[in-house]
Amino acid sequence: MAFTDMRNWLLDESPASRNQARFGRIFRISLAFRGNALAMVGLVIVLALIAMAAFAPWIATHDPIAQDTYARLRPPSAANWMGTDELGRDIWSRVVFGARITLAIVILVAVLAAPAGLLIGAAAGYLGGWVDRVLMGITDIFLSMPKLILALALVAALGPGIENAILAIAVTSWPSYARIARAETLTFKNADFIAASRLQGASSLRIVIGHILPLCTSSMIVRVTLDMAGIILTAAGLGFIGLGAQPPLPEWGAMIARGRTFILDQWWVATMPGFAIIVVSLGFCFLGDGLRDVLDPKSGEKH
């Protein structure tokens, strides 16, 4: 009975307090999200990636960088679940520890690119005039160049390494967030609550940070989640050509590059990390689609 009362309280169409309205919205979003099968599959995959990265030392069966010349290119077996590579290293253990690198790249790129793009886009949309023209002009310059090509150029200039790869991917990712934030800002910059804030003496900075940025958060979360698959593929591409994480780090793209030599006879060397990239990318795509369905106000009537 207590659970039923709590559910009715959360689903009340006329909340009596701000907290009731806030918790009720979260509860409705969770119900809608749970009803999306693909979104739940994506959530499970992402949570599995996080768990794999967090508990890698306990999940891995071998040292990911330990070499064994007597165990070179062994096929998948009970001793080596995904086989071994040309240096006798256990591929399963390298894939597990590679999850840490992949998750670190995704999180750091999101932390660097999303806030920068959100702030630039909101400032351009709210202030308008020459500020909008200058900021969006710079944004259009970055958008006019393919992400992977620009990332390759930046990493080639900065030098190979995982830190430079993360910086290059972040530099190529922020323009799309800026465009979204600007479009969102233009939809409500002339709203009554913004005008009321101006009449109360609120500065432009306070309005942007206190009112506009929170309203852009939902669409930004969806966009970041959907972009994570592209971030993973870009990082893998940089690792594949030797500009990302450097040996002996178990980065999935670099593992594919080393395994392509044996693809015909020892298919597992390149296939296993490639399969990991595909599964994780699909997981983020499914999760992003689910979040878009439940967080997009235009789709609220469907739920």
Average pLDDT over residues 40-58: 95
Do 114 and 224 form a contact (C-beta atoms < 8 A)? yes
pLDDT in tens, 104-113: 999 999 999 9
- Say what the pLDDT of residue 147 is: 85
Question: Is the pLDDT score of 288 beyond 70?
Answer: yes
- Say what the pLDDT of residue 203 is: 83
- Say what the pLDDT of residue 118 is: 92
Query: What's the chain's average pLDDT?
Result: 88
What is the SS3 assignment for 53-73?
Answer: HHCHHHHCCCCCCCCCHHHCC
Average pLDDT over residues 268-296: 91
- Say what the pLDDT of residue 301 is: 44
In eight-state DSSP terms, residue 90 is B
Domains of the chain with bracketed CATH: 42-65+88-302 (1.10.3720.10)
DSSP string covering 198-251: HHTT--HHHHIIIIIHHHHHHHHHHHHHHHHHHHHHHHHHHHHTTSSSPTTS--
Do 133 and 72 form a contact (C-beta atoms < 8 A)? no
Question: Is the pLDDT score of 272 beyond 90?
Answer: yes
Rounded Cα distance between 213 and 237, Å, is 33
First-to-last alpha carbon distance for the chain, in angstroms, is: 25
Rounded Cα distance between 56 and 96, Å, is 6
- Structure token digits, residue 96: 């597990």
Question: Is the pLDDT score of 21 beyond 80?
Answer: no
- Structure token digits, residue 138: 């710079």
Question: Is the pLDDT score of 1 beyond 50?
Answer: no
Average pLDDT over residues 267-277: 94
Phi and psi based region of residue 113 (left: phi greater than 0; alpha: psi -120 to 50; beta: remaining): alpha
Comparison of pLDDT for 69 and 303, the residue scoring more: 69
Question: Is the pLDDT score of 2 beyond 70?
Answer: no
- Say what the pLDDT of residue 204 is: 81
Comparison of pLDDT for 167 and 292, the residue scoring more: 167
Comparison of pLDDT for 227 and 299, the residue scoring more: 227
Entry field: residues in the chain: 303
Do 216 and 185 form a contact (C-beta atoms < 8 A)? yes
Comparison of pLDDT for 212 and 278, the residue scoring more: 278
pLDDT in tens, 240-260: 988 888 888 999 999 999 998
Average pLDDT over residues 166-177: 92
- Say what the pLDDT of residue 3 is: 67
Question: Is the pLDDT score of 297 beyond 60?
Answer: no
Helix 91-127 × helix 37-54 angle, to 10°:
120
Question: Is the pLDDT score of 300 beyond 60?
Answer: no
Which of these, 278, 280, 273, lies nearest to 106 by C-alpha position?
280
Do 257 and 240 form a contact (C-beta atoms < 8 A)? yes
Rounded Cα distance between 77 and 232, Å, is 28
Comparison of pLDDT for 300 and 202, the residue scoring more: 202
pLDDT in tens, 189-220: 888 888 888 888 888 888 888 888 888 888 88
Question: Is the pLDDT score of 89 beyond 90?
Answer: yes
- Say what the pLDDT of residue 7 is: 73
Do 255 and 246 form a contact (C-beta atoms < 8 A)? no
Rounded Cα distance between 210 and 124, Å, is 16
Q: Name the percent of the chain lying above pLDDT 90.
A: 51
Do 204 and 125 form a contact (C-beta atoms < 8 A)? no
